[in-house]
Amino acid sequence: MVRQTEISLPAFPRGYHLITELVASQIQFPDQGILHVFIKHTSAALCINEDADPTVREDFEAIFNQLVPEGLPYLKHTLEGPDDMPAHIKAAMIGSSINIPISDKKMNLGTWQGIYLCEFRNHGGPRKLVLTVYS
């Protein structure tokens, strides 16, 4: 059986944000299955990583800003601001979807794992996610 729903996240500031509980609250989980989460945007991404220490998310921001800085003189896609093209590149590097096993009617994440919304725009606005449960 496949169930699918689309949800809107509120606008988050630029950075890496835990959205695990927000996603979980939108789903009625089967006993077993797979949760596929897809973001419908090209300047934000999703990943699974450390959910205990907030400095991990701060370090993600610092590292990705070093890897793909704003204001590179050779970028052509600049009409939407200096953060736009770097946001597209960062989103392509991290990815637009994740898969999580479902066991015992809940996400079967590791002890220190959580879902990150990786917001790369200074003012990205609300983001849409498609949640698909395969059971």
What angle in degrees, to the nearest 10, is found between the helix axes of 54-67 and 84-94? 120
pLDDT in tens, 3-50: 999 999 999 999 999 999 999 999 999 999 999 999 999 999 999 999
Amino acid identity, position 83: D
* Residues 101-118, mean pLDDT to the nearest whole number: 98
Q: What is the C-alpha to C-alpha distance for residues 7 and 113, in angstroms, rounded to an integer?
A: 22
**Sequential DSSP letters for 114-129:** EEEEEE-STT---EEE
pLDDT grade for 111, boundaries at 50, 70 and 90? very high
R_g (Cα) of the chain, nearest Å: 16
Q: What is the C-alpha to C-alpha distance for residues 41 and 9, in angstroms, rounded to an integer?
A: 12
The 8-class DSSP code of residue 11 comes to P
* Strands, E assignment, the chain: 2-9, 15-18, 32-39, 44-50, 97-103, 106-107, 113-119, 127-134
Predicted pLDDT of residue 73: 94
pLDDT in tens, 64-100: 999 999 999 999 999 999 999 999 999 999 999 999 9
Tell me the domains of the chain and their CATH numbers: 2-134 (2.60.120.460)
Q: Tell me how far CA of residue 59 lies from CA of 56, 76, 85, in angstroms.
A: 5, 28, 21
Closest CA to 36 of 131, 107, 127, 114: 131
**Tokens found for residue 16:** 């890496």
Arithmetic mean of pLDDT over the chain: 97
**Tokens found for residue 84:** 């736009």
**Contacts for 54 with CB less than 8 Å, ≥ 6 apart:** none
Predicted pLDDT of residue 56: 98
Predicted pLDDT of residue 49: 98
Stated pTM of the model: 0.96
